[in-house]
Structure 1
Amino acid sequence: MTNEELTKLIAKISRDVFGKAFRHQGIFNSRLRTTGGRYLLSSHNIEINPASYNKFGYDELIGIIKHELCHYHLHLEGKGYKHRDKDFRKLLQETGSPRFCSLLTEKRRQTNGFYLYECISCKSQFPRKIRMNTAKYRCGRCSGKLRTLQRKVADEKRKESINKSRF
């Protein structure tokens, strides 16, 4: 779908669902990462994330367009166009527009450290996100020497890819 086709689709949805004209442009913006689309206050254009269209299909695209058109029409009318405003929530409900789009990125799991260090003397373990020099640092409990138990997974994958590229 091109930007011209997107603009025509937005204009059609605006006429059919809202009964009002859309006089600006619809643009695909591949730099959007976490949102399905956005309404630009200064230019009144609507930007759509092509990844959400590719991943979730036409129905999701229609929902995103309807949501952004709610912002568009309320802003031009001088009413509350922000997510927390009553006018916006009421128009979303009247038009059957979704409040949120489907998630493009999965939430990352919280890890308890990428590196695991152990004291040789007292066997205390220390998970860390950032690598540390075991020759320079000592155990905080008994001042014993530290050793590395577990390394970062990304480091191991990087080493494997370097070894594979050599052969």
Structure 2
Amino acid sequence: MDLTEYVRRVSQQDFGKEFKHTALWNSRLRSTGGRFFPANGHLDFNPHLYAEHGAAIFRQIVRHELCHYHLYFEGKGYKHADKDFKDLLKQVDGLRYAPKSAKASAIHHTYRCQSCDQLYQRKRRVDTKKYRCGKCGGKLIKIQA
């Protein structure tokens, strides 16, 4: 099924309003479920969250973005802090925050100090020739890929 058609159906069923723009998958999104673009009205959605959490959670993410969409075009408060947004989101049972992705919270690199055995867990690689232990100044060694 086409994503734009799915968003149109959710908009009609849950809001009773028409969605007139396009919806796209954006695999570059990491920490958010979707984005609304007021400049041209289109919506971006995170395909990783759909794959990881399923259709029910994804529908709530679509509702969240549609709250931004419909409120913006009605001239009401469409931002997260606005009362109009919070009220409509509660009314249609949309998600307030995107669920955490297992991929986003994974620790990829673990280092240990050779002197004091302090452990360091990092998402990004650390240059062990440049950086030292923050506790004692000892040399770091990688213990996990």
TM-score range, shorter chain: 0.7 to 0.9
Rg (Cα) greater in structure:
1
If the length of structure 2 is used for normalisation, what is the TM-score?
0.77
| Secondary structure, aligned partner of 1:47 | strand
Report the aligned-residue RMSD: 2.9
AA partner of residue 47 (structure 1): D
1:60 equivalenced with 2:62 (yes/no): no
CA deviations 1:37-58 (Å, max 9, x no partner) are 1111111101111111111111
1:11 equivalenced with 2:8 (yes/no): yes
Q: Give the alignment of 1:102-113 within 5 angstroms.
A: 102-104=99-101, 105-107=103-105
Contact 1:33/1:49 (<8 A) preserved: yes
If the length of structure 1 is used for normalisation, what is the TM-score?
0.68
Contact 1:27/1:47 (<8 A) preserved: yes
1:151 equivalenced with 2:141 (yes/no): yes
In structure 2, stretches of 5+ residues that fail to align are 121-125, 131-135
AA partner of residue 30 (structure 2): R
CA deviations 1:64-120 (Å, max 9, x no partner) are 1101000000111111111111010000111111111211145367x9x934143xx
Q: Which residue of 2 aligns with 1:136?
A: none
Which protein has greater RCO, CA pairs closer than 8 Å, 6+ apart?
2
Contact 1:115/1:130 (<8 A) preserved: no
Q: Which residue of 1 aligns with 2:133?
A: none
AA partner of residue 141 (structure 2): R
CA deviations 1:9-48 (Å, max 9, x no partner) are 1111111111111100011111111111111111110111
| Secondary structure, aligned partner of 1:98 | coil
CA distance in 1, matches of 2:51, 2:129: 42
CA distance in 1, matches of 2:68, 2:142: 44
Q: How many residues align?
A: 133
Deviation of 1:62 (Å): 0.7
| Percent sequence identity over aligned pairs | 35
